[in-house]
């Protein structure tokens, strides 16, 4: 990221003044300060990211005791592991001696986690099993030196973590998605592919891009050829699909909409959203030619010409077609870089090369993500210019983005 001269003054009083200026001018994109201030970034991590529910993986990725994934958030790292009793845990990847990372790989299987520095050994449930020679320290209590842990919930096979031990419950609000998301049988689904796209932009620019489809018509030609969401009044185009969806898919409540996100969420960072929008006639799924790319998922009986749009927490989203699901997760890595993780799910018993072709399955959203990367990095360059002056949001297309921004600004304001 290019640092410019105005980044030097980075005090709480400046942040307060910048926040007051934004609150006095709703309906506008926000000042460049919020995309490049290290103080803002640090505050976001503390007050927002580490207090929110974040997707960490799918149960099939930690199917057996000792299976683990690591999850990198900001400069932190967590180990998502199934312990010897079968429970999924989120362990802070920080040794309780002097802080070395105890696990390096992105995934694998371990009987224990051994710190590479002085060799302390942790069990898969995070407890300290051995600390070399520490019996020489009188009163050393091994039970008080297990790895710190984050909260974990599993919903329909999707693992969510929250680093705030006082975080509000996520499972109760998620019940509002039971029918719509339940249709895909995600607990038994398979991760067909996943890819991390490291985007050279502040995380909010990356998330804001996902939260609006104003750019779809100009940036995503393949997507826009098929999906109605790029139309301001797409509900009109979607009416016929919504009328037939329950009968065609065989799923009661398939088209029901539910929205409690950001300031309106049932608890902090407990955003829950679903709606179903349409594909144009002749397109059945999100693929290069709109034709099926995998077997129908879960209990879905046929293609209704619709796609389920979901949000869980502030940073995780899904686009669910009858034959595959695509999950998006946005994670800040530093003030000017973001990991956009994309995960493709298919039926659990689908076999690669027989039931689906990975290239065909991932084509649309891989290419759409690369198109997004292109425009987000251009956006970042412009926003980081000293001459950037924020303009007005579109009242319809950019309303979810505005809801996010209002919540974001309120969260930062509360912290001061
Ligand atoms: S830092 Fe891990 S054993 Fe010393
Ligand atoms: Fe996009």
Give CA 322 to chain center in angstroms: 21
Q: 132 CA to middle of ligand 1, Å?
A: 10
CB 82 within 8 A of CB 63: yes
pLDDT of 322 higher than 60? yes
Instruction: Please say whether the beta carbons of 35 and 12 come within 8 A.
Output: no
* pLDDT (0 to 100) of residue 5: 47
**Helix residue ranges, H only, 215-291:** 216-219, 221-226, 234-249
Task: Give the residue whose CA is nearest to atom 1 of ligand 1.
Answer: 98
d(CA 90, CA 222): 38
Backbone angles phi, psi at 319, to 5 degrees: -120, 115
Judge contact between 269 and 411, C-beta under 8 A.
Answer: no
- Which among 96, 98, 129 is positioned nearest to 111, based on CA atoms? 129
Residue 3's pLDDT band (cuts 50, 70, 90): low
Partners of 21 in the beta sheet?
Answer: none
CB 156 within 8 A of CB 186: yes
Confidence of residue 229 (pLDDT cuts 50, 70, 90): confident
Structure letter (DSSP) for residue 282: T
In a mutational test of the pocket of ligand 1, which residue from 97, 132, 134 has the highest number of ligand atoms less than 8 Å from its CB? 97
Which pTM was predicted? 0.96
Residue 415 alpha carbon to ligand 2 centre in Å: 31
Which residue is closest in CA terms to ligand 1's atom 3?
A: 118
pLDDT computed for residue 2 by the predictor? 55
Please tell me which residue, 309 or 386, carries the higher pLDDT value: 309
Strand partners, 278: 306
1: pLDDT strictly greater than 80: no
- How much of the chain is in helix, strand and coil states, percent to nearest 5? 35, 25, 40
Position in ligand 1 atom list of the atom nearest CA 96: 2
Give CA–CA dist 120/12, Å, rounded: 40
Q: Report, as an integer, the average pLDDT of 169-189.
A: 98
- How many angstroms does the Cα of residue 209 sit away from the middle of ligand 2? 6
Atom of ligand 1 nearest to the CA of 100: 1
pLDDT band for 233, please (50, 70, 90 cuts): confident
- Residue 84 Cα, ligand 1 centroid: separation in angstroms? 23
- For the ranges 11-25, 61-75, 217-231, the lowest mean pLDDT is seen at 217-231
Question: H or E segment at 113?
Answer: strand 112-114
How many A from CA of 218 to the centre of ligand 2?
10
Cα separations in angstroms, 221 against 175, 226, 228, 338, 371: 35, 9, 12, 24, 10
Q: Which residues surround ligand 2, an ion (CB under 5 A)?
A: 372
Residues with beta carbon inside 6 Å of ligand 1? 95, 97-100, 115, 117-120
Nearest ligand to residue 99 Cα: 1
Domains by residue range for the chain, with CATH: 54-154 (2.102.10.10), 173-411 (3.90.380.10)
From residue 360, how far is each of 291, 316, 392 by CA, in Å? 10, 24, 38
pLDDT band, very low/low/confident/very high, at 237 (cuts 50, 70, 90):
confident
Using CA of residue 12, residue 18, residue 22, residue 25, what is the dihedral sign?
positive
Ligand 1 atom closest to the Cα of residue 132 is: 3
Of 43-47, 294-298, 383-387, the poorest mean pLDDT is in 383-387
**Closest ligand 1 atom, residue 131 Cα:** 3
Average pLDDT over residues 351-356: 98
Residue closest to 315 by CA, chosen among 377, 271, 257: 271
Q: Which two tokens stand for residue 195?
A: 């890819």
């Amino acid at each position: 990221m290019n640092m410019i001269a105005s980044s030097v003054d980075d005090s709480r009083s400046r942040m307060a003044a910048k926040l007051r200026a934004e609150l006095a001018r709703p309906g506008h994109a926000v000042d460049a300060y919020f995309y490049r201030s290290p103080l803002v970034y640090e505050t976001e991590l503390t007050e927002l990211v580490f207090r929110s529910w974040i997707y960490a993986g799918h149960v099939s990725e930690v199917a057996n005791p000792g299976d683990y994934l690591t999850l990198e958030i900001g400069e932190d790292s967590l180990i998502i592991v199934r312990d010897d009793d079968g429970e999924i845990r989120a362990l802070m990847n920080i040794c309780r001696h002097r802080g070395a990372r105890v696990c390096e790989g992105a995934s694998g299987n371990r009987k224990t986690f051994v710190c590479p520095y002085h060799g302390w050994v942790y069990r898969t449930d995070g407890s300290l099993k051995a600390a070399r020679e520490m019996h020489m320290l009188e009163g050393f209590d091994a039970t008080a030196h297990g790895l710190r842990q984050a909260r974990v919930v599993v919903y329909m096979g999707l693992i969510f973590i929250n680093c705030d031990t006082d975080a509000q419950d996520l499972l109760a609000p998620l019940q509002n998605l039971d029918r719509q998301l339940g249709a895909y049988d995600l607990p038994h689904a398979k991760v067909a592919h996943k890819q991390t796209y490291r985007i050279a932009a502040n995380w909010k620019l990356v998330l804001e891009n996902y939260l609006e489809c104003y750019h779809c018509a100009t940036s995503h030609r393949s997507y826009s050829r098929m999906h109605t969401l790029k139309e301001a009044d797409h509900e009109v185009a979607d009416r016929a699909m919504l009328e037939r969806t329950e009968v065609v898919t065989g799923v009661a409540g398939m088209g029901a909409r539910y929205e409690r996100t950001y300031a309106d969420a049932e608890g902090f960072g407990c955003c829950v959203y679903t709606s179903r929008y349409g594909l144009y006639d002749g397109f059945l799924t999100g693929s290069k030619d709109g034709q099926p790319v995998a077997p129908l998922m879960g209990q879905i009986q046929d293609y209704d010409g619709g796609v389920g749009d979901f949000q869980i927490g502030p940073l995780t989203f899904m686009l669910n077609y009858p034959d595959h699901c695509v999950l998006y997760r946005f994670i800040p890595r530093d003030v000017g870089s973001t990991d956009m993780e994309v995960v493709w799910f298919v039926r659990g018993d689908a076999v690669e090369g027989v039931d689906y072709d990975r290239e065909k399955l991932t084509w649309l959203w891989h290419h759409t993500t690369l198109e997004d990367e292109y425009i987000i990095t251009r956006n970042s360059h412009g926003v980081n210019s000293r001459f950037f002056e924020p303009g007005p949001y579109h009242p319809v297309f950019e309303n979810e983005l505005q809801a996010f921004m209002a919540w974001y600004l309120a969260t930062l304001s509360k912290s001061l």
